[in-house]
Amino acid sequence: MYDLLSWLYPWTKALHVISMVTWMAGLFYLPRLFVYHVEAAGQSGPTADLFETMERKLLRLIMNPAMIATWFFGLMLVLTPGVVDWGSLWPWTKATGVLSLTWFHHWLGWRRRDLAQGANKVSGRGYRIMNEVPTVFLVVIVVSVIVKF
């Protein structure tokens, strides 16, 4: 099994990065859609319906599969011999960042459901602030993996 993981390492790493970039794109875009939905479309009407469709499809068809693929290929990398030095700090900071992004992903899903049900409680400004959250965790994860402190 470990020989197979070592042999697949370049492909696993490439697929992990591709799925991570796709997931991050969604994590950046969905809160921005929420801003426009709240500020321009309101809670009902054809424009609100369009935003709800865009938000639902982005989350279900792009972000959810990308998050699952990121986790799958990331766990394959963790199991590949010689990739992770658990005595270092970087795998723990990366794991914290990934778990935080996963929580944020689900928070966005809850907010999407609130918007669809007409129960939104977050302002456009609040969504603008939350739009910066993925950037913070992206910096933590990338610096952790590249610098390996």
pLDDT digits (tens, 9 = 90+) for 7-51: 899 999 999 999 999 999 999 999 999 999 998 866 678 888 899
Per-residue pLDDT at 6: 86
Per-residue pLDDT at 86: 92
Nearest to 104 by CA among 141, 134, 68, 142: 134
Nearest to 103 by CA among 76, 75, 81, 136: 136
Q: How many CB atoms neighbour CB 106 within 10 A?
A: 11
Report the distance separating Cα 87 and Cα 149, nearest Å: 10
Q: What is the pTM of this model?
A: 0.92
Task: Judge contact between 20 and 97, C-beta under 8 A.
Answer: no
Per-residue pLDDT at 41: 64
Query: What mean pLDDT is predicted for residues 94-110?
Result: 98
Work out the mean pLDDT of the chain and round it to a whole number. Answer: 94
Report the distance separating Cα 121 and Cα 25, nearest Å: 24
